[in-house]
Amino acid sequence: MPAPTTIRTPRLELARWREHEFTELRAVLDLCDAHLRPWIPFMRDEPRSLDDTRARVAQFIASFDEGQHFRYVVRDRGTGAFVGEVMLLTRGAPGTLEIGYWLHQDQCGRGYAKEATAALLPVAFEDLGAARVAVVCDEHNAPSIAVAHSLGVTFDELRELVEDGAPVRLMTFVLPREVWLERRA
Ligand SMILES: CC(C)(COP(=O)(O)OP(=O)(O)OC[C@H]1O[C@@H](n2cnc3c(N)ncnc32)[C@H](O)[C@@H]1OP(=O)(O)O)[C@@H](O)C(=O)NCCC(=O)NCCS
Domains belonging to the chain, first-starting first, are 6-184 (3.40.630.30)
Read off the pTM: 0.97
Q: 159 pairs with which residues across the strands?
A: 170
Please tell me if the CB atom of residue 58 comes closer than 6 angstroms to any atom of ligand 1: no
> How many CB atoms sit inside 10 A of residue 45's CB?
9
Q: What percent of the chain has pLDDT over 70?
A: 100
Q: Which pLDDT band holds residue 173 (cuts at 50, 70, 90)? A: very high
Non-local (6+) Cβ contacts of 104 within 8 A are 28, 31, 32, 82, 83, 84
Please tell me if the CB atom of residue 147 comes closer than 6 angstroms to any atom of ligand 1: yes
Non-local (6+) Cβ contacts of 30 within 8 A are 47
Which mutation among 108, 140, 149 tests ligand 1's pocket best, with the greatest number of atoms within 8 A of CB?
Answer: 108
Q: Which pLDDT band holds residue 165 (cuts at 50, 70, 90)? A: confident
